[in-house]
């Protein structure tokens, strides 16, 4: 169910904590920013008072309303699971909620000692809800520590759920000796994702991170696991993409069946780890490892094609060629397929981290409502929105929902445009919402909008970061050629890039028809999830495209077009498909070189049912 193929180049080192520079993060006073320590909630955060009731009330009254619950520095003691309700006070909750702490190290949700004492009945400090279907959108938990305390062997740090967009960022999960079942549980409900987990650390617990289910894909970047008693990362059937995993454990670092792409990992084994493999792939799972370093383990990988997980520990030698280690440059559990003669190894496009930006003091922000914008989206705010952008402020804040009869031109001193999960021109696709023009800053950020009806046009060569948003389209004009685009946790349809360099983490495109066009540029994707029929990526004009993990959730019209089209260009794909409607993609690859065209159909090639393909020589 996967595809792979071709070429060279090195990877840049991971800068843990990339993106927003560290420091205390606060917001301007606004009705959509809810401080849990203020009335009517009045949580204490003193580490002594029980804040369960106060925080639960804040969740009940604000979850699902495109609001941010803000936790100032402090230790918030809780004695029961905090839940995100599906319905409260007659209001149906479809997600759209953000929880954010002021400082990851100093903003702590701590479970009262001796609360969840039965390891056979796990319970979480916080459960973020979900329907068990893919309709729980745009949820975020960021900049917090979850501490399960002492004498809590049945405790889970966080059960997170989100669809299309959503992330756990800059969080810590901590368990004392003998406490904790799972740090971050993404396996508690089916159909969880697509979502992103980034810059997170798990210390202790039986298992650090758990994932499961056949859909919708989950993406991880810059993850540190330490001191787990059973397994660092456990996957049961999900499509997983991981870049930058550090594990320091006496247990296996990774156990998986399903589909896993792991790149740039350092796995250190201690003590009993000498008896185990660092990674166990079993039950017919698909796995691709790249630049994985291991020390202290019996071997790097046990690649089992049986459901007998325990058999991995009985192997004394090399399981498959290239699996012994201790270091693995590149390893695939299944052979590479190609339509034209090519290298069987991955493309290895250079990788760039999201460029950093500064969290300015809120007094310096331009709040669009202060310029006359209507946050209820009842009247046209076009003039007010442009006036705020042109005010000279570096940070522009959109705390509500807005209508605009004109495209907002991003220029001047603007460095960052920040929403609270709001909407601009809901459902209106005939007008570009934001046009990125030349400006005074080399990098501009747009982030945290749950829906941009028209989308974004990039009309400048400067770097653009699009983060945590749904946007109908992203289009590059000829003036954007040579520019850099960073996509992190983005959903939409009909993305078109022209001679640009694009790095995407957790990208979800769901339109019917061509999803993404790469015309003459470099496109690198970590975790690519799609829905509906049509070509998922068309690479042309000598472009290069590399997909590191993900899947097509093919819900309509698999016969509509080839899954991938490669015209005199370079592609390499490790990918899968899930289809429950009986209409999967019939043609996986259509590739043309120097006027000759070949196709790879469903079930063709060495790797069944799908395999990978090639670069222009």
Query: What pLDDT, on a 0 to 100 scale, did the predictor assign at position 451?
Result: 95
Q: With the CA atoms of 475, 480, 481 and 487 taken in that order, what torsion angle do they form, in degrees rounded to the nearest 10? A: -60
Tell me the C-alpha distance between 233 and 213, whole Å: 15
Percent above pLDDT 90 for the chain: 78
Q: With the CA atoms of 66, 72, 75 and 76 taken in that order, what torsion angle do they form, in degrees rounded to the nearest 10? A: -40
17 vs 50: which has the higher pLDDT: 50
Give the model confidence (pLDDT) of 399-457 as tens digits: 999 999 999 999 999 999 999 999 999 888 889 999 999 999 999 999 999 999 999 99
Q: List phi, psi (to 5°) of 120.
A: -85, -10
Give the number of other Cβ atoms within 10 Å of residue 374's Cβ.
Answer: 17
Query: What pLDDT, on a 0 to 100 scale, did the predictor assign at position 96?
Result: 94
Please report the DSSP string for 592-615 in residue order: EETTEEEEEETT-SSSSS------
Which token pair is 570?
A: 């370079």
pLDDT at 8 > cutoff 50 = no
- Burial class for 582, CB neighbours closer than 10 Å (0-12, 13-18, 19+): exposed
Eight-class DSSP state of 271 = G
pLDDT class of 615 with cuts at 50, 70, 90: very low
Tell me the C-alpha distance between 147 and 151, whole Å: 12
pLDDT at 9 > cutoff 50 = no
How high does pLDDT run on average in the chain?
Answer: 91
Give the number of other Cβ atoms within 10 Å of residue 291's Cβ.
Answer: 17
Tell me the C-alpha distance between 434 and 312, whole Å: 53
- Burial class for 21, CB neighbours closer than 10 Å (0-12, 13-18, 19+): exposed
Query: What pLDDT, on a 0 to 100 scale, did the predictor assign at position 169?
Result: 98
Query: Where are the strands (E) in 482-543, listed by range?
Result: 484-492, 495-498, 501-509, 516-519, 522-531, 537-540
Tell me the C-alpha distance between 126 and 85, whole Å: 11
pLDDT at 172 > cutoff 90 = yes
Tell me the C-alpha distance between 134 and 531, whole Å: 12
Which token pair is 56?
A: 């639960």
Query: What pLDDT, on a 0 to 100 scale, did the predictor assign at position 437?
Result: 98
Give the model confidence (pLDDT) of 264-300 as tens digits: 999 999 999 999 999 999 988 999 999 999 999 999 9
pLDDT at 5 > cutoff 60 = no
For 501, what's the count of Cα atoms within 13 Å in the CB-facing half-sphere?
A: 12
3-state SS record for 406-436: CCEEEEECCCEEEEEEEEECCCCCCCCCEEE
Give the model confidence (pLDDT) of 120-164 as tens digits: 999 999 999 887 678 899 999 999 999 999 999 999 999 999 999
Q: List phi, psi (to 5°) of 500.
A: -110, 160
- Burial class for 406, CB neighbours closer than 10 Å (0-12, 13-18, 19+): middle
pLDDT at 344 > cutoff 90 = no
Query: What pLDDT, on a 0 to 100 scale, did the predictor assign at position 399?
Result: 97
Lowest average pLDDT, out of 109-118, 504-513, 604-613, goes to 604-613
- Burial class for 29, CB neighbours closer than 10 Å (0-12, 13-18, 19+): exposed
For residues 549-561, average pLDDT: 84
Asked if 290 contacts 263 with a C-beta cutoff of 8 angstroms, the reply is yes
Closest alpha carbon to 110 in 74, 154, 65: 74
pLDDT class of 548 with cuts at 50, 70, 90: very high
3-state SS record for 305-374: CCCCHHHHHHCCCCCCCCCCCCEEEEEECCCCCCCCCCCCCCCCCCCCCCCCECCCCHHHCEEHHHHCCC
- Burial class for 159, CB neighbours closer than 10 Å (0-12, 13-18, 19+): buried
- Burial class for 233, CB neighbours closer than 10 Å (0-12, 13-18, 19+): buried
Contacts of 314 (CB under 8 A, 6+ apart): none
Give the model confidence (pLDDT) of 356-405 as tens digits: 988 999 999 999 999 999 999 999 999 999 999 999 999 999 999 999 99
Give the model confidence (pLDDT) of 300-315 as tens digits: 999 988 888 888 888 8
Alpha-carbon torsion 329, 335, 339, 341, what sign? Answer: positive
CATH architecture of the domain with residue range 33-332: 3 Solenoid (2.160)
Type and span of the H or E element at 92: strand 91-92
Tell me the C-alpha distance between 535 and 537, whole Å: 6
Residues constituting the chain = 617
Query: What pLDDT, on a 0 to 100 scale, did the predictor assign at position 610?
Result: 35
For 213, what's the count of Cα atoms within 13 Å in the CB-facing half-sphere?
A: 21
Query: Would you list the domain boundaries of the chain?
Result: 33-332, 493-612
Query: What pLDDT, on a 0 to 100 scale, did the predictor assign at position 134?
Result: 85
- Burial class for 343, CB neighbours closer than 10 Å (0-12, 13-18, 19+): middle
Q: List phi, psi (to 5°) of 385.
A: -65, -45
pLDDT at 6 > cutoff 70 = no
Which token pair is 562?
A: 């080839």
Which token pair is 337?
A: 């397929």
Lowest average pLDDT, out of 120-134, 496-510, 534-548, goes to 120-134
């Amino acid at each position: 169910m996967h595809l792979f193929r071709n070429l060279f180049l090195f990877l840049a080192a991971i800068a843990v904590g990339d993106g927003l520079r560290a420091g205390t993060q606060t917001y301007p006073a606004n009705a959509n920013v809810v401080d849990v320590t203020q009335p009517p909630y009045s949580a204490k955060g003193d580490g002594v008072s029980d804040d369960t009731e106060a925080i639960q009330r804040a969740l009940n009254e604000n979850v699902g309303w495109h609001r941010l619950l803000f936790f100032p520095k402090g230790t918030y003691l809780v004695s029961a699971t905090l839940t995100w309700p599906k319905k409260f006070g007659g209001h149906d909750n479809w997600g759209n909620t953000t929880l954010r702490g002021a400082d990851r190290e100093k903003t702590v949700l701590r479970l009262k000692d001796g609360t969840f004492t039965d390891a056979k009945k796990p319970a979480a400090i916080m459960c973020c809800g979900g329907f068990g279907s893919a309709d729980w959108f745009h949820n975020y938990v960021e900049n917090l520590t979850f501490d399960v305390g002492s004498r809590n062997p049945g405790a889970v740090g966080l059960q997170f759920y989100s669809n299309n967009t959503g992330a756990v960022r800059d969080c810590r999960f901590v368990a004392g000796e003998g406490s904790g079942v799972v740090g971050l549980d993404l396996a508690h409900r089916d159909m969880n994702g697509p979502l992103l987990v980034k810059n997170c650390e798990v210390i202790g617990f039986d298992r650090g991170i758990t994932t499961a289910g056949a859909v919708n894909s989950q993406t991880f970047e810059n993850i540190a696991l330490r001191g787990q008693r059973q397994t660092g990362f456990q996957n049961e059937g999900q499509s997983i993409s991981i870049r930058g995993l550090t594990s320091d454990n006496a247990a296996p670092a990774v156990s998986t069946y399903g589909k896993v792409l792991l790149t740039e990992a350092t796995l250190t084994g201690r003590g009993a780890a000498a008896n185990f493999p660092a990674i166990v792939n079993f039950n017919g799972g698909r796995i691709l490892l790249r630049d994985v370093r291991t020390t202290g383990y019996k071997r790097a990988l046990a690649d089992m094609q049986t459901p007998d997980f325990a058999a991995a520990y009985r192997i004394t030698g090399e399981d498959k060629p290239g699996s012994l280690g201790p270091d693995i440059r590149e390893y695939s559990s299944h052979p590479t397929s190609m339509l034209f003669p090519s290298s069987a190894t991955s493309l290895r496009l250079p990788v760039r981290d999201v460029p950093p930006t500064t969290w300015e003091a809120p007094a310096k922000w331009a709040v669009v409502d202060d310029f006359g914008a209507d946050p209820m989206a009842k009247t046209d705010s076009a003039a007010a929105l442009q006036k705020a952008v042109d005010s000279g402020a570096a940070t522009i804040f959109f705390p509500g929902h807005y209508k605009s009869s004109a495209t907002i031109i991003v220029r001047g001193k603007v460095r960052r445009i920040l929403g609270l999960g709001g909407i601009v021109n809901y459902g209106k696709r005939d007008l570009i919402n934001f046009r990125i023009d030349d400006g005074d800053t080399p990098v501009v950020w747009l982030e945290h909008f749950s829906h941009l009806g028209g989308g974004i046009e990039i009309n400048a060569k400067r770097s653009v970061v699009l983060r945590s948003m749904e946007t109908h389209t992203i289009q590059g004009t000829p003036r954007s050629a040579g520019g850099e685009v960073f996509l992190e946790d983005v959903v939409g349809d009909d993305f078109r890039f022209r001679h640009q360099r694009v790095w995407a983490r957790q990208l979800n495109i769901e339109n019917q028809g061509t999803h993404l066009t790469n015309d003459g540029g470099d496109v690198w994707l970590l975790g690519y999830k799609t829905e509906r029929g049509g070509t998922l990526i068309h690479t042309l004009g000598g472009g290069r495209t590399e997909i590191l993990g993900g899947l097509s959730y093919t819900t309509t019209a698999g016969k509509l077009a080839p899954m991938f089209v490669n015209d005199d260009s370079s592609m390499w794909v490790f990918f899968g498909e899930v289809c429950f409607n009986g209409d999967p993609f019939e043609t996986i690859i259509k590739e043309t070189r120097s006027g000759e065209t070949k196709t790879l159909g469903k079930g063709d090639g060495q790797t069944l049912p799908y395999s990978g393909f090639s670069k222009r020589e």
